[in-house]
Amino acid sequence: MTRSGGLFHRARQIIPGGVNSPVRAFKSVGGTPPFIVSAQGALLTDADGRQYIDYVGSWGPMIVGHAHPQVVAAVQEAAARGSSFGAPTEAEIQLAEKIIDCMPAIEMVRLVNSGTEACMSAVRLARGVTGRELIIKFTGCYHGHSDGLLVEAGSGAATFGVPSSPGVPAATARSTLSLPYNDLPALQAVLAERGHEVAAIIVEPVAGNMGCVLPLPGYLHGLRAACDQYGILLILDEVMTGFRVARGGAQGLYGVRPDITTLGKVIGGGLPVGAYGGARQIMEQISPAGPIYQAGTLSGNPLATAAGLATLEILSQPGFYETLEQRAHRLSRALSQVLTDAGIPHLGTRVGSMLGLFFTERTQINQFAEATESDGQRFNRWFHGMLEAGIYLAPSQYEAGFLSIAHDDALIEQTIEAARQVAARL
């Protein structure tokens, strides 16, 4: 048995599924997850000494690469001054200023500890500000695991949402509707009946939890117009896309202005940070400035803000996103060519350094129902073949892949060669 195998066996005795977040357990792809002992740049090393080129990047945060010297130094320096005070610090102001500087729709921001907390708080804020109860989300989009957002579509689009997990009260689920992504007519039909009950529409501007699925041209602006028509707040969940697809997030890339933005991942540089922000008159409704309550012992934690600040400094350097774009474009094109040469039907999707790959005859995937038609068995063979070849991909068809600035041309070339070997056996 490998060391990872032994560790996984031990972990499963005392941690549910042996992991602290489900997708890490490789349940959908099968096999034993490597237990990672260290990472540097674009590379991971597991408990058996095996090295991998990492395209998960901790599910998005590690855009500057693992253990970046500036990030490590910033965290070490902060830790030497104390790890948490439960009192305000200047670093929280600096991180807020940096976020606001990059995302003009955010005039005021609250730091929290995860994307889940950011989305949960944004939904409460929208309900508090509008006095309305109904939330609309989209099937295949994930906004963390708060009760009101673990909801899937009910039997008919206009009927109530149903829980997507045991433990979520039916009454809670009924206040959330889940509609098809990229489908404005379906949304308009529901709004025609219930638009004035809706507090917020929450959406991943580029979906990264059904694989990487892009918004159709005009879709995001259509959501904005629908919100304006019915007095609904638009929440762009940029936990994954924020500082990933562009320095100004997807809202900057697509030119759509949300009322509330949620962030996470990159802004913590690998430490626990989430955030939600928006126009001043909305955010000043949050306690203690306003009546809508939200709190957190470790929110704005000195170590997390140090890691986030160092990361945002690095990605603010000239040429950072241009370099990422060139490399991600090259990798995506080359992988597609390799699969085409091997006669493998597939669809590659990409926005910036966020990528997706579906094994399908489709030339477009616009919503979750279409993504589910992909060949999951072939994906699993692809995943394990690439893992064997030292390429660490997301262990699920319904996740996105991420490049960091540390993925240099040599590592990209190595990835393409591995793909060529694996494709021949798919």
Footprint on this chain of ligand KE4 (rule: CB under 6 A):
21, 23, 59, 114-116, 119, 142-144, 204, 208-209, 237, 239-240, 264, 274, 399
Catalytic residue among 265, 276, 375, 398: 265
Minimum distance from residue 261 beta carbon to ligand KE4 (Å): 12
| Dist. CA 423–CA 253, nearest whole Å | 33
CA atoms of 378 and 425, how far apart (whole Å): 10
Q: Give 237 or 370: the residue with its C-beta nearer to ligand KE4.
A: 237
Q: Which of 237, 259, 276, 321 is catalytic?
A: 237
* Least distance in angstroms from the C-beta of 243 to ligand KE4: 13
**Closer to ligand KE4 by Cβ: residue 117 or 338:** 117
- Sort strands 401-402 and 151-152 into parallel, antiparallel or unpaired: unpaired
237 catalytic residue (yes or no): yes
Q: Which of 54, 55, 137, 142 is catalytic?
A: 142
Q: What residues contact residue 72 under an 8 Å CB cut-off, 6+ apart? A: none
Percent composition of the chain: helix, strand, coil (DSSP 3-state, to 5)? 40, 15, 40
> How many CB atoms lie under 10 A from the CB of residue 373?
12
Burial readout 149-184 (b: 16 or more C-beta within 10 A, e: otherwise): bbbbbbeebeebbbbbeeebeeebbbbbbbbbbbbb
Of 114 and 332, which has the nearer Cβ to ligand KE4?
114
Q: Which parts of 131-246 fold into alpha helices (H)?
A: 170-173, 184-194, 219-230
- Report the distance separating Cα 145 and Cα 163, nearest Å: 11
Kindly state the smallest distance separating residue 229's Cβ from ligand KE4, in Å. 25
Q: Between residues 143 and 350, which has the closer beta carbon with respect to ligand KE4? A: 143
Q: What are phi and psi of 104, to 5 degrees?
A: -55, -25
Pick 46 or 117: Cβ nearer ligand KE4: 117
* Nearest distance from C-beta of residue 220 to ligand KE4, angstroms: 15
Q: Which residue is nearest to ligand KE4 (CB)?
A: 115
CA 405 to CA 71: how far, in whole Å? 14
- Which pairing describes strands 36-40 and 198-203: parallel, antiparallel, or unpaired? unpaired
Minimum Å gap between C-beta 412 and ligand KE4 is 23
Query: Based on CB atoms, which residue is closest to ligand KE4, 33 or 41?
Result: 33
Closer of 41 and 270 to ligand KE4 (Cβ): 270
Tell me how far the alpha carbon of residue 109 is from its chain's centroid.
19
Residue 412, helix vs strand vs coil: helix
Q: Give the CA distances from residue 6 to residues 45, 46, 48, in Å, rounded to whole numbers and listed in that order.
A: 16, 13, 11
Return the residue matching tokens 């989430």. Answer: 274
Sheet holding 233-237, edge to edge: 108-112, 274-278, 260-263, 233-237, 198-203, 134-138, 176-179
Give the tokens for residue 36.
């990672």
The least distance separating ligand KE4 from the CB of residue 239, rounded to whole angstroms, comes to: 4
In the bound complex, what is the minimum distance in angstroms from residue 288's beta carbon to ligand KE4? 24
Q: Which residues are catalytic?
A: 142, 237, 265
